[in-house]
Amino acid sequence: MKTLSMILFSGVLLFSACQSDEGDNGKKLDKQISEAEQKMAAESKPTPEQLTQLIKLYEQHVEKYPERKETNVAFLMKAAEAARAKSDFKKALEIYDRVIAGFRGHEKAARALFMKGYTYDNDLVMKDSAVVFYKTFLQRYPRSEFADDAKFLLENIGKTNAEIIEEFEKKQKAQGGSSSLSGK
């Protein structure tokens, strides 16, 4: 009889654990995410496993609580950055696509499109794809806070830092300025 009671108690406990966040409006999951973020912030370099777990928590929140749009778009952007941090660029691009498609008109959709170009440019070194996404970004969001960055990156795509500095110094001299970035 004692064994049967323990089995029933364990079953009830397991069932309630699985159902425990149904009525809490995401508070339990929010707490898990917050704790995972704090743990990673306390470390100098998070492990790929920690980043993967955090991405899963963010995505779980988005799936379970679709009505929490502002929180979800922020979590998706954080998930994409976590994917980039662990060099899972395919995953990052997939998440940026979710933001672009699911949050049209939101400022984070603009950032996601910019970051998609940036990921192709700097992480995957696929310059042709980067150009396409930077141009698309500028067409859709010409007044975005990242518009000047996108223009600069487009103008300098494929150039080395030394070439960019040299061009900058030539422009400064032509304008009568004496600023030098190379320290000469």
pLDDT in tens, 104-158: 989 999 999 999 999 999 999 999 999 999 999 999 999 999 999 999 999 999 9
pLDDT score of 176: 77
pLDDT in tens, 9-46: 333 333 333 444 556 767 899 999 999 999 988 988 99
Tokens describing residue 88: 């899972």
Among 136, 134, 104, 138, which residue's Cα sits nearest to residue 119? Answer: 134
Tokens describing residue 130: 């980067």
| For the chain, domain boundaries | 33-174
pLDDT in tens, 43-67: 889 999 999 999 999 999 999 999 9
User: Which residues are CB-contacts of 90 (< 8 A; sequence separation ≥ 6)?
Assistant: none
User: Which residues are CB-contacts of 175 (< 8 A; sequence separation ≥ 6)?
Assistant: none
Q: What's the number of CA atoms in the CB half-sphere (13 Å) around residue 14?
A: 6
User: For the structural domain made of 33-174, what CATH number should be given?
Assistant: 1.25.40.10
Instruction: Give the residue, 179 or 83, on which the prediction is more confident.
Output: 83
pLDDT score of 19: 43
Report the C-alpha gap between 128 and 123 in whole angstroms. 13
pLDDT score of 13: 33
